[in-house]
């Protein structure tokens, strides 16, 4: 198939899933065309069958901000015309599903192949952004106008049906990881780079937005390090990072926190960690948690979110209601203080992740869905 993919190119779950999917599809012989304003974050090396089409963002004094939505739609139509796309797969409803609809309108007079539009919902496009009253109608319209819609968890599909009163089927295709890269022992980095002998390494990866509850991460870690020697490894960047640093200073934790910023290859670092913290307010899936599990790192996170579909509570991690940092820290300590249990959780984490979410299980689900949408005419 010839597949167009549009996503946000910056570090963030939806862009990462789109990029990994494009790479996997290209490996499986499809021709994949990325259309975005910058080269996606993890698309950092040449690969056969993979192409990139940049979108210009032209500024003009009259525009409050450059109308990216319009230039993106025009570029989508252009790529569809030139490469005869079978499918245009957009990740994140706003504005990508709307742009795809516009592109389709631009292609109305085109005699060649008309691409099918598939929208994948990732989470904040529905739970936060999409349900903002000013985005509600446009999001609902764009989902309904897509030829096919997928969501990364049942939790998100249900939420979309509820909030947007969508009647069409939303296919659940969970996120996935490349088992040849995300595994417990890669030999790429060693614990000694982060911790002294006898210390534990607690990791957190996010875009440091309020929804991630960075303060809870620090609070859980603080409680842990008061009981056992430990260091906190922070990966990613975002608006709450400055406040987080202040909090770390205030609690006198400076010497115990290591910050690496955005890393395009977290699989090199994650296997060094003992535990992963994801106490988010909202999480449609929790890709970073899955990548941690795949590297053999148990997860402490929040129940009542899509994490319940990823983390097996009591088996490869523990889930608690949002904000319950005390029991989260106690659960972490329960593992760190029991070497046999920690080893069991680590082994189970990697095994469960591989059995349920490896690329060879999930990517064919996307291929099959593309085919179903194409066959539907």
| Smallest separation, CB 198 to ligand GMT (Å) | 33
Stretch that binds ligand GMT, among 8-16, 222-230, 258-266, 323-331 (CB under 6 A): 8-16
Toward ligand GMT, which CB reaches closer, 4 or 286?
Answer: 286
17 near ligand GMT, judged by CB under 6 A: yes
Q: How many whole angstroms separate alpha carbon 122 and alpha carbon 150?
A: 9
Among 282, 291, 309, 312, binds ligand GMT (CB under 6 A): 282
Return the SS3 of 375: helix
Using DSSP's 3-state secondary structure scheme, residue 196 falls into coil
DSSP 92: S
Report helix, strand or coil for 295: coil
The DSSP annotation for 180-245 comes to: TTS-S--SS--GGGT--TT-EEEEEES---GGG-HHHHHHHHHHHHHHS-EEEEEE---TTHHHHH
Q: Is 303 left (phi over 0), alpha (psi -120 to 50) or beta?
A: beta
- Verify binding: residue 159, ligand GMT, rule CB under 6 A: no
Residue number with CB closer to ligand GMT (19 or 325): 19
**Token representation of residue 230:** 């430990």
Phi, psi values for residue 168, rounded to 5°: -70, 160
- Closer of 16 and 77 to ligand GMT (Cβ): 16
Cα atoms in the Cβ-side hemisphere of radius 13 Å centred on 206:
28
Q: Is 24 in the site for ligand GMT (CB under 6 A)?
A: no
Query: Shortest Cβ distance from residue 20 to ligand GMT (Å)?
Result: 10
Stretch near ligand GMT under the rule CB under 6 A, chosen from 9-17, 61-69, 111-119, 368-376: 9-17
The stretch among 101-109, 189-197, 215-223, 276-284 that binds ligand GMT (CB under 6 A) is 276-284
Q: Residue for token digits 């939505």?
A: 69
> 110 and 131 in contact (C-beta within 8 Å)?
no
Kindly compute the dihedral angle of the four CA atoms of residues 368, 25, 270, 306, in this order, to the nearest 10 degrees.
-30
Q: CB of 306: closest distance to ligand GMT in angstroms?
A: 6
Stretch that binds ligand GMT, among 44-52, 204-212, 336-344, 355-363 (CB under 6 A): 204-212
Distance CA 76, CA 106 (A): 9
- How far is 295 from 349, CA to CA, in rounded Å? 8
Q: Which of residues 306-325 bind ligand GMT (CB under 6 A)?
A: 306
CB nearer to ligand GMT: pick between 5 and 287: 287
| Residue selected from 152, 272, 293, 352 as contacting ligand GMT according to rule CB under 6 A | 152
Q: Exactly one of 4, 22, 40, 123 binds ligand GMT (CB under 6 A); which one?
A: 123
# residues near ligand GMT by CB under 6 A? 22
The distance from CA 360 to its chain's CA centroid, rounded to whole angstroms, is: 18
Q: Does residue 207 interact with ligand GMT by CB under 6 A?
A: yes
Which positions touch ligand GMT (CB under 6 A)? 12-15, 17, 92, 122-124, 152, 175, 207, 209, 211, 280, 282-287, 306
């Amino acid at each position: 198939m010839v597949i167009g993919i549009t996503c946000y190119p910056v570090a963030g779950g939806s862009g990462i899933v789109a990029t990994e999917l494009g790479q996997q599809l290209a490996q499986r012989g499809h021709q994949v065309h990325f259309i975005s304003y910058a080269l996606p974050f993890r698309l950092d090396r040449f690969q056969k069958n993979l192409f990139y089409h940049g979108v210009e963002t032209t500024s003009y004094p009259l525009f409050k901000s450059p109308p990216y939505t319009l230039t993106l739609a025009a570029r989508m139509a252009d790529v569809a015309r030139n490469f005869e796309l079978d499918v245009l797969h957009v990740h994140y409803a706003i504005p990508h599903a709307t742009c795809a609809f516009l592109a389709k309108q631009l292609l109305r007079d085109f005699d060649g192949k008309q691409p099918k539009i598939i929208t994948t919902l990732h989470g904040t496009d529905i739970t936060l952004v999409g349900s903002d009253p000013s985005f509600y109608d446009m999001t609902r319209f764009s989902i309904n106008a897509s030829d096919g819609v997928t969501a990364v968890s049942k939790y998100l599909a249900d939420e979309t049906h509820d909030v947007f009163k969508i009647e069409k089927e939303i296919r659940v295709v969970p996120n996935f990881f490349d088992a040849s890269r995300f595994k417990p022992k890669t030999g790429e980095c060693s614990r000694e780079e982060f911790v002294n002998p006898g210390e534990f390494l607690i990791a957190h990866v996010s875009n440091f937005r309020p929804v991630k509850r960075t303060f809870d991460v620090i609070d859980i870690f603080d409680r842990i390090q008061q009981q056992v020697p430990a260091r906190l490894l922070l990966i990613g960047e975002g608006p709450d990072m400055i406040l987080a640093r202040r909090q770390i200073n205030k609690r006198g934790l400076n010497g115990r926190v290591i910050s690496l910023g955005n890393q395009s290859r977290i699989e090199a670092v994650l296997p060094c960690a003992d535990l992963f913290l994801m106490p988010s307010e909202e999480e449609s899936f929790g890709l970073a948690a899955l990548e941690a599990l795949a590297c053999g790192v148990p997860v402490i996170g929040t129940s009542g979110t899509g994490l319940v579909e990823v983390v097996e509570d009591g088996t490869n991690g523990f889930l608690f209601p949002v904000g319950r940092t005390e029991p989260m820290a106690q659960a972490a300590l329960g593992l760190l203080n029991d070497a046999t249990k920690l080893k069991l959780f680590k082994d189970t984490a990697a095994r469960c992740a591989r059995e349920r979410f490896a690329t060879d299980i999930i990517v064919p689900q996307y291929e099959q869905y593309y085919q179903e949408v194409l066959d539907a005419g």
